[in-house]
């Protein structure tokens, strides 16, 4: 599901998404590990839940608090409230909405560990980088692992790193699944 996007607002701090001749304005609300959360600006909080989409920051040209180019991009994930907005405004079809809710829009590999980690973070889980004690040559310290904390448990899981991302072990995966199911 591709949206046309272009920078909007003063100093290009907002992003206008359009599709099928209909559009909406989104505001950046945080970035993590190359992913960008965009809140729906016009809608309030129906039912107390925020309406937002997750995109890869580079896909929508976001850097240093501004959007820099226009083009087309597919969202990685959406909240149920945002999916309702997309359906009401005619920006998405039912099958597309179901894929967005599952995180299977082609952005993060469907039901894999990345999708599980993203859904858990959206539900309140926290991945804190663990750095090496000293950096060789005085440079920036290297990330050697991640400490995982979930809302419903007191245990901290220390995860290994592969290609800069946390690697889930069976215990951490089970904790994240509990976190997602509780949300």
What pLDDT shows up at residue 81? 81
**Among candidates 84, 19, 79, 71, which has minimal Cα distance to 54?**
79
DSSP alpha helices (H): ranges in 79-151? 80-89, 94-102, 113-122
What pLDDT shows up at residue 67? 92
For the chain, percent of residues with pLDDT exceeding 90: 16
What pLDDT shows up at residue 183? 63
Question: Is pLDDT above 80 for 104?
Answer: no
CB burial of residue 89 (10 Å; 0-12, 13-18, 19+): middle
Instruction: For residue 157, name the pLDDT band (cuts at 50, 70, 90).
Output: very high
What pLDDT shows up at residue 111? 54
Report yes or no on whether pTM surpasses 0.95. no
Residues composing the chain: 183
Instruction: For residue 14, name the pLDDT band (cuts at 50, 70, 90).
Output: very high
Cα 153 from chain centre:
23
SS3 of 148, please? strand
């Amino acid at each position: 599901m591709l949206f046309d996007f272009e920078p909007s607002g003063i100093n290009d701090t907002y992003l206008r998404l359009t599709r099928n001749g209909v559009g909406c304005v989104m505001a950046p609300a945080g970035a993590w590990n190359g992913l960008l959360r965009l809140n729906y600006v016009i809608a309030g909080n129906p039912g107390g839940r925020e309406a937002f989409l997750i995109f890869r920051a580079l896909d929508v040209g976001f850097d240093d608090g501004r959007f820099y180019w226009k083009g087309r991009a597919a969202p990685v994930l959406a909240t149920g409230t945002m999916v309702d907005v997309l359906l009401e405004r005619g920006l998405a079809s039912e099958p597309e909405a179901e894929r967005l809710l599952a995180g299977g829009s082609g952005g993060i590999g469907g039901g894999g560990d990345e999708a599980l980690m993203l859904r858990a973070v959206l539900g309140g889980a926290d991945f804190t980088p663990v750095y090496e004690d000293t950096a060789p040559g005085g440079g920036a310290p290297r990330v050697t692992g991640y400490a995982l904390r979930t809302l419903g448990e007191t245990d901290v899981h220390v995860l290994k790193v592969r290609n800069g991302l946390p690697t889930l072990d069976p215990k951490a995966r089970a904790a994240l699944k509990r976190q997602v199911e509780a949300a």
